[in-house]
Structure 1
């Protein structure tokens, strides 16, 4: 055994002792922290995801009305309706790229205030729409705002929170998204599409006002050499009597090597490319569960499933999502990210497989055989009269799917994205992840109806079920557990033992 091999156990023991000392010191500090102002700052920030949720949910009640509206300048064909539902994702992809640049140039706080404007302008154009193009432009603008929001808000929350509450605070992002979706569904029961757009413009207006009174994140201020401002921000977030100088010094010490800008050579650093790979794959797999297709076309799905009162069923789905996303927020820092992701993936896999079975049993074959029918040689399904008897299976499958998504694959990819990147790569890494997410969202939502025509409704949901199974496998082997770890400890995990 050489000298290097003999020294490894000693180094590991020293690292362990140092880690215990650091943890004890951190616990002493966190015991003095007051979280009231942190909750205020988080609430102001998550008004952005609430606005984002209204954008996602808006198309579900609006599309059936716009497809039947008497005015031919505004009436949507099925193809135009698919563009109306999916064009948001194009804007969001652009917003993700724009957000990655803006968040580094003007900071997290100003970026959030900036993204309120396209939300408001987009809904204003929809309210005043006189033709299809005004509807599309309004959706694109709200999509741009959604892309910026989905990048900036998780960063703002992760950089203002401490490790004891970061999981719960981060889960509030998805909680507010689903509350926005449910809000759009419920409001759509009582308002027409123009008044619904007016209601959707209220949350971003509130965010713009509230963020005026919130601080910039301490990490961003320290990265710009503004230590005094960073300490003041920490005093606001942690309480006036908390010794924030200790936390400020810890952040400075951990980020010393990251003071320079990201270069091409850094892409060879495992502390950069490993979290980038994990982030991209999580965003890809999240969208290929089919979640956005289901949210955009919830009423249409229930109509095709021959479920009476599809709009009411959509509201029930929205309520279910809110309840279980709230549950995920409460248990996130106890159960851990990895366990919830695995449970979530299994629940979605089973429920979408069951949804496929429902469509196979209950949908009568019309006209020419679909590709899947031809391959499998299936016979005509049961008669139309059987539909009401099986409608419980559609709603139950949808409920289990939404429950599973809300517990894991809804909130956690956004939370993990905000935790895993080093400071110097946070803007670029988050932008690439958001672009991946919304590009996949566009592909799924735009091709959803085509998939249902090509391989039948049953085949489409079985395809999504297969992706959910892949989610589980990917989580087991590649996603790190970040529960209870500081951002610096998470980054050290990716860099390997030499960095510790």
Structure 2
């Protein structure tokens, strides 16, 4: 295949026409002229995010029914809830390599095969170990998706839309989780697992009709296909010459370096990128999110509040707040949203902890359940506006193309490892001390504020190549 690109090709117009889909500064599509192909391609990608959310949300509304039908104890159900993250760690280990060697679309399709098999195993489970196998397979699938979806969306969108479009990943996770909560309140757990197959099939059947990432195609040496994909994504009248040239030059510069293994990432030039990427994932998970969303029903029961009303309240808060985060992503920037989000999660956990303290002291018995609800809702709302989406957005932005696969695998693996620790330990922590559990989460969220203020760069309005060059420059001067 010819790896050389003729930049005088008709695919790459060298001047702007009157109908070109670019903004007034030539920075890419304006919000009023976003190409239809870009919107459809992003929607196909984030169907994977919906699958991710439905898998996470499944264990909360089904807990009592599964435990009753299959005669499981708390420890056995904790294995079922947390084995999802074991599978996700397996998926995370191979996610970067599959996405780098086979392409982003193939990786998404591969993940959905795992998810479909997993949901089928859960649907027809008669004994606990079939449940575990099914949950493990779904975990493998979403481990792949959690890396490849935000990376793919970040690579196909122009810089002025990248934050909002990448944050749709988290919005669809939220929708998947919330709708699974709601549907799970009315249908049998086997039917709920069957319903989980539908979005998997939608993405799997749609993938052949969307373009692959122009940046991945350039990295693979398929430069003409890269230019063609970029033209499709920007609109047929858009001038993509400058962006295509920047992608080509940046890719060629980094391909002169050896593609780093995970061990090779621990070099000075990648130090800040790695610290920011890994640090945000650790703090995101140790702030308690998966313990809270996996076992939301049991939290409300422990606090003396109605589990059904609490679940509906979470949905009512989570979707609007996630939507606000998406809308603000490219306006306010990543850092301000992260800071507000981290402060809010700290306050939310503190209020929940305080409610359990009052419950233990047998004081304000009518107030403590309401305080627990308020604390959980403040936490979920605050998390949704920033801490949910932005670590994945930043992960997809900060690593150069020659290490993106290895770095993405490492960051995603760390995220799922921390998620497994929290999801497995949460029920035992609550048995130890409900108040102590939430005070611990509150302290970690407070530390997150300091971490963001000191280390996390602002990436709004900059191309991926500009972000990566500035971080490498920073590291090389250290």
Provide the TM-score with structure 1 as the length reference: 0.87
Matches within 5 A, 1:424-435: 424-435=402-413
User: How far is the alpha carbon of 1:271 from its aligned partner?
Assistant: 3.9
- In the other structure, the counterpart of 1:302 is 300
- In the other structure, the counterpart of 1:446 is 424
User: How far is the alpha carbon of 1:492 from its aligned partner?
Assistant: 1.6
- In the other structure, the counterpart of 2:392 is 414
User: How far is the alpha carbon of 1:399 from its aligned partner?
Assistant: 0.9
1:362 paired to 2:339: no
Rounded Cα–Cα distance in structure 2 between residues aligned with 1:491 and 1:282: 17
User: How far is the alpha carbon of 1:267 from its aligned partner?
Assistant: 3.7
Rounded Cα–Cα distance in structure 2 between residues aligned with 1:434 and 1:268: 16
Equivalent of residue 30 in structure 1, options 24, 28, 31: 28
Look up the SS of the partner of 1:470 in the other structure.
helix
State which drifts further: 210-219 or 32-41. Answer: 32-41
Q: Is the 8 A contact 2:86 2:416 kept in 1?
A: yes
Rounded Cα–Cα distance in structure 2 between residues aligned with 1:134 and 1:67: 14
What is the root-mean-square deviation in Å for CA atoms of aligned residues?
1.9
- In the other structure, the counterpart of 2:448 is 471
Rounded Cα–Cα distance in structure 2 between residues aligned with 1:271 and 1:403: 36
Equivalent of residue 243 in structure 2, options 247, 271, 274: 247
Going by fraction, where is helix more abundant, 1 or 2?
1
Cα 1:161/1:136, change in 2 over 3 Å: same
User: How far is the alpha carbon of 1:291 from its aligned partner?
Assistant: 0.3
Q: Deviations over 1:128-171 (max 9, x none)?
A: 10100000000000001110000000110010001010000011
Q: Is the 8 A contact 1:348 1:468 kept in 2?
A: yes
User: How far is the alpha carbon of 1:251 from its aligned partner?
Assistant: 0.7
Rounded Cα–Cα distance in structure 1 between residues aligned with 2:242 and 2:462: 17
- In the other structure, the counterpart of 1:235 is 231
Rounded Cα–Cα distance in structure 2 between residues aligned with 1:489 and 1:93: 31
Matches within 5 A, 1:158-197: 158-197=154-193
Q: Is the 8 A contact 2:159 2:463 kept in 1?
A: yes
User: How far is the alpha carbon of 1:31 from its aligned partner?
Assistant: 5.3
State which drifts further: 142-151 or 29-38. Answer: 29-38
Rounded Cα–Cα distance in structure 1 between residues aligned with 2:27 and 2:429: 54
- In the other structure, the counterpart of 1:282 is 280
List alignment gaps of at least 5 residues for structure 2.
1-21
- In the other structure, the counterpart of 1:66 is 66
- In the other structure, the counterpart of 2:41 is 41
User: How far is the alpha carbon of 1:272 from its aligned partner?
Assistant: 2.0
- In the other structure, the counterpart of 1:55 is 55
User: How far is the alpha carbon of 1:198 from its aligned partner?
Assistant: 0.8
Matches within 5 A, 1:88-237: 88-237=84-233
User: How far is the alpha carbon of 1:306 from its aligned partner?
Assistant: 1.0
User: How far is the alpha carbon of 1:27 from its aligned partner?
Assistant: 2.5
Rounded Cα–Cα distance in structure 2 between residues aligned with 1:65 and 1:475: 41
Q: Is the 8 A contact 1:337 1:412 kept in 2?
A: yes
- In the other structure, the counterpart of 2:18 is none
1:495 paired to 2:472: yes
User: How far is the alpha carbon of 1:497 from its aligned partner?
Assistant: 6.4
List alignment gaps of at least 5 residues for structure 1.
1-23, 364-380
User: How far is the alpha carbon of 1:268 from its aligned partner?
Assistant: 6.0
Cα 1:95/1:453, change in 2 over 3 Å: same
Rounded Cα–Cα distance in structure 2 between residues aligned with 1:221 and 1:169: 20
User: How far is the alpha carbon of 1:499 from its aligned partner?
Assistant: 8.4
Q: Rg: which structure is higher?
A: 1
Cα 1:348/1:259, change in 2 over 3 Å: same
Q: State the number of aligned residues.
A: 452
User: How far is the alpha carbon of 1:269 from its aligned partner?
Assistant: 4.8
Rounded Cα–Cα distance in structure 1 between residues aligned with 2:474 and 2:437: 44
Q: Is the 8 A contact 1:126 1:134 kept in 2?
A: yes
Q: Deviations over 1:221-252 (max 9, x none)?
A: 11111111111111210001112233211111
